[in-house]
Amino acid sequence: MKKTVLAGVVAGFSLLGMSNGALAAMDYDYSGTFAKDNDVVCFEFTVDNAESEVTLFTSSWNTGGFDPLLTIWDSTGNYLFDWDGPMGVGDPGSAGSKGVTYAFGSYDVVYTDSFDKGSYVATITQSYNFANASDIVNAGSNLADGFLFDDVPHYTSDDYLNLGPYPDFNGWSASGSAVHTTGEWAFHIVNVSSAQLKDCNPVPVPPSVLLLATSLAGLAGVGYRRKK
Predicted confidence (pLDDT) per residue in 43-55, tens digit? 999 999 877 899 9
Residue 89 lies in a domain: yes
The residues, any chain, with a CB within 8 Å of residue 165's CB and separated by 6 or more, are 156, 157, 158, 159
Predicted confidence (pLDDT) per residue in 25-42, tens digit? 899 999 999 999 999 999
How many domains are there within the chain? 1
**pTM score, two decimals?**
0.79
Residue 4 lies in a domain: no
Residue 177 lies in a domain: yes
Distance CA 28, CA 98 (A): 8
Backbone angles phi, psi at 159, to 5 degrees: 60, 35
Distance CA 58, CA 30 (A): 9
Range 112-115 contact pairs with CB under 8 angstroms and sequence separation of 24 or more: 112/53, 112/54, 112/55, 112/56, 112/87, 113/53, 113/54, 114/51, 114/52, 114/53, 114/54, 115/47, 115/51, 115/52, 115/53, 115/54
CATH code for position 21: 2.60.120.380
Residue 83, domain extent: 10-227
Residue 5 lies in a domain: no
Residue 152 lies in a domain: yes
Predicted confidence (pLDDT) per residue in 167-191, tens digit? 788 776 666 667 778 999 999 999 9
With pLDDT > 70 as the criterion, what percentage of the chain qualifies? 72
Residue 2 lies in a domain: no
Residue 23 lies in a domain: yes
Residue 3 lies in a domain: no
